[in-house]
Structure 1
């Protein structure tokens, strides 16, 4: 069996060599992820990941080291592979901190950052079996050549080398949420933890990730643009295909066709009363004629996420009750966006939104006892930080004064359950309008501003453009429901 595997590997290597000679004048260095040589359509020379250069990654490491105390170490593990069942893994997504520091998009590694060692990467070792079944992965050579680590070792050396590094350090920082037994079970680590020398690295890494560089903002603009285009196509699709599952599939298709690697989260597609469930995710109902649909979606482009929400009537027109509530949420959204500027905070914007919504809901007649009932209808914050994670940089307080380069969401909403003790015409209505907002030197930039949200614009789009989808779409819907 071993002889057979060896011959098969030799044949694969030979075929790969022929392919390189026949189709490329450059040697393609296989590192288990795109490189400028293997994917020139994605990466420019000098980039480690699309849009982010080697120099930027090195700068990030230097800035993190400037925050770390002398003689301390930062240990960051790659995200683990999670299994769906037996031999079937869930789609892999890299830990944001590990990706931010290394640029490595693969599982199985541990990165160590220190004042003396610089970036030291411990890399997985692929067996012939792994290469056959899963393809080439980044090893020690890739850590040095592609990711520009100062030092690199196979994972089999971690026990000895990292233990010595820990013993020589004054403090140890690590990503608590992605900690793995590979290093936490080391005697040196456990001794440091017992002595109170182990701390959470997130207080420093989130500080760095909070404000985005020009390169990061370019990717976030592109991610937002993709999500807006995809959601607009889905909105136009909804009149003929008023099914939560179909709309979820449509928005994912449109995002990926425009270059997104994955969705930022499972799309929320809440039709009618399901829209009042804030993180509704079943997406298995038909949207009844006359009901609204609330869609909260986002996609990931090369590590950077988008997040926006729109609510509309697939039938083409808002009822008077729906429009009344919608205009309250829309006005709150627009007024809160105007508050976005350097020096304010998410907390201040949130408090303003609560006052505005409480006043509006009371005027409409939905709220009688404002203090006790409001949080039943909206228990959420006005927004959150956005970046490499959906709720990005959670270690940074929402009381922190906003700075240029920070991206936040503004997402007022109202979620009235079907059995709410209030006027019947409002029962079972869920509305949220969410935009991404970049804080600039002079104020703000709405990254999702291309996505319509005015009532007249939405109704015009639904009624004047949806008919162009044609009978082919109608036949698909009929076949799917028969």
Structure 2
């Protein structure tokens, strides 16, 4: 999605102006932000936005909500994602930790402390969400900046991202000690940042040893599990990008192409239309390789008469999508392929419809197991679908994974939220039934057929039908055949 360029006030920063395709935009030559902000990227961000559609006020409210859940005087320690390297000094593109991004809107390395304020005499504050937001940013280093560019600076950290206090990372051990010494509880996930932060901040290490640190993740996951309307819009755009990119891959499918070609096409289509990255390595599995759930080789030629399964998603400004479709390389499902596909499609339809407030993902998985077991019996693959057979897991060789998972800023999002928690409006999940018939003679004409259908599904208010955010790539077999044969 390409956003319309907009006029953005410059908040007093030194800035230049330029013209691009007839639009005025701000070059902001003197502005050290380290990432897009409205003054430097008005074609993407509106006034006060830190991510498209997400104003700084939403991030402030998230921090307030978190503070309101914690004891008076508590301190939250937030490290960023650690930089990963290909080899030596060659970095992978940086991807921010989802919890850090959720609370700050900052996409580059920095550290944060959120300190819940107390009232007079250490009593309760009048506002339970009252807090101070402290950022630690890289110290100025002209030699490093010559190679890597100018990162986030103090003025921008205050004026754009809303920090109350800003220090350099070199000051962090001493300043963080001052912030944490009087805290009525420290909330910090010791495995974040590769487990390195508490090794660099002695007071935090000592607090961990003393057992006075409590995990932060359960609080943040409970917040992130329910998407705000603005978050839902970003997820909608991410899912739509992935869906339309898979549709494009369908239209380019023929036996002279390879799995790698389709994987590259998907990534190109997502990125050229606004995604920052793929959400995970795409699965493009032709023929019997579709029965390998996380097939990542993507190195074979497509075969006429076989199916190809694509499981792929993208990240759009911090929000992930996860979509799977299965289609015939030649543009027509064979009889056995169609039987397996129709069986999975019916499970998909019923499980998507079950994604309503009050139900649980565990209940929806149980529904999928019942329906898949009935389909397996109907196709004559593994005997009867009686309750004893289902309880014994007879279906598992042909359906070995869960019906789905939470989706949001991570592909497998909010892992601390159990699957038996009742769904609520704003919950988003991936629903992905599949049927994978081993390529063995015992399975006759169905041998080697693997089908999975996956969509991004959002629970709606009032018990209404769920929203399928990835609906712009069809699941109907006749529509799929038409796209593959027609090339569009």
Output aligned runs, 1:58-207, within 5 Å: 58-107=60-109, 109-116=110-117, 118-179=132-193, 180-207=195-222
- Check conservation: 2:81, 2:192, Cα contact below 8 A: yes
Determine the C-alpha separation between the residues in 2 that align with 1:447 and 1:163: 45
Using the TM superposition, name which of 127-136 and 117-126 deviates more: 117-126
Q: Describe the SS at the equivalent of 2:396.
A: helix
Determine the C-alpha separation between the residues in 1 that align with 2:14 and 2:186: 48
1:349 aligns with one of 364, 369, 375:
364
- Check conservation: 1:170, 1:197, Cα contact below 8 A: no
Determine the C-alpha separation between the residues in 2 that align with 1:423 and 1:27: 65
| TM-aligned CA distance change 1:460 to 1:127, over 3 Å | same
Give the structure 2 partner of residue 397 of structure 1.
Answer: 418
Q: Describe the SS at the equivalent of 1:170.
A: coil
Matched, 1:244 2:240: no
| TM-aligned CA distance change 1:372 to 1:410, over 3 Å | closer
Query: Deviation of residue 320 (structure 1)?
Result: 1.1
Over residues 449-475 of structure 1, what are the superposed CA-to-partner deviations in whole Å (9 max), with x where a residue is unaligned? 221111111112222x12x7xxxxxxx
1:315 aligns with one of 330, 335, 339:
330
Query: Deviation of residue 395 (structure 1)?
Result: 0.8
Determine the C-alpha separation between the residues in 2 that align with 1:233 and 1:25: 35
TM superposition score normalised by structure 2: 0.88
| TM-aligned CA distance change 1:25 to 1:359, over 3 Å | closer
Number of equivalences: 448
2:451 aligns with one of 428, 431, 437:
431
Q: Describe the SS at the equivalent of 1:425.
A: helix
Matched, 1:282 2:297: yes
- Check conservation: 2:324, 2:455, Cα contact below 8 A: yes
Query: Deviation of residue 392 (structure 1)?
Result: 0.8
Output aligned runs, 1:40-59, within 5 Å: 40-59=42-61
Matched, 1:38 2:31: no
Matched, 1:365 2:349: no
- Check conservation: 2:357, 2:425, Cα contact below 8 A: yes
Query: Deviation of residue 20 (structure 1)?
Result: 2.2
- Check conservation: 1:31, 1:138, Cα contact below 8 A: yes
2:400 aligns with one of 371, 375, 379:
379
CA-atom RMSD in angstroms: 1.9
Using the TM superposition, name which of 207-216 and 188-197 deviates more: 188-197
Determine the C-alpha separation between the residues in 2 that align with 1:277 and 1:430: 8
1:408 aligns with one of 423, 429, 432:
429
Query: Deviation of residue 416 (structure 1)?
Result: 2.2
- Check conservation: 1:242, 1:314, Cα contact below 8 A: no
Matched, 1:448 2:444: no
Query: Deviation of residue 190 (structure 1)?
Result: 2.5
5+ long unaligned stretches in structure 2: 1-12, 20-24, 118-130
| TM-aligned CA distance change 1:200 to 1:422, over 3 Å | farther
| TM-aligned CA distance change 1:428 to 1:176, over 3 Å | farther
Query: Deviation of residue 240 (structure 1)?
Result: 5.7
Structure 1's consecutive aligned runs of 4 or more residues displaced over 6 angstroms after TM superposition are 21-26
| TM-aligned CA distance change 1:241 to 1:129, over 3 Å | farther
- Check conservation: 1:176, 1:201, Cα contact below 8 A: no
Q: Describe the SS at the equivalent of 2:86.
A: strand
- Check conservation: 1:159, 1:183, Cα contact below 8 A: no
Determine the C-alpha separation between the residues in 2 that align with 1:414 and 1:351: 15
| TM-aligned CA distance change 1:84 to 1:126, over 3 Å | farther
Determine the C-alpha separation between the residues in 2 that align with 1:308 and 1:26: 37
TM superposition score normalised by structure 1: 0.89
- Check conservation: 2:172, 2:201, Cα contact below 8 A: no
Determine the C-alpha separation between the residues in 2 that align with 1:131 and 1:316: 53
| TM-aligned CA distance change 1:18 to 1:70, over 3 Å | closer
Give the structure 2 partner of residue 3 of structure 1.
Answer: none
- Check conservation: 2:313, 2:321, Cα contact below 8 A: yes
Determine the C-alpha separation between the residues in 2 that align with 1:77 and 1:198: 15
Over residues 279-300 of structure 1, what are the superposed CA-to-partner deviations in whole Å (9 max), with x where a residue is unaligned? 1111001122111100001111
Q: Describe the SS at the equivalent of 2:157.
A: helix
Query: Deviation of residue 422 (structure 1)?
Result: 3.2
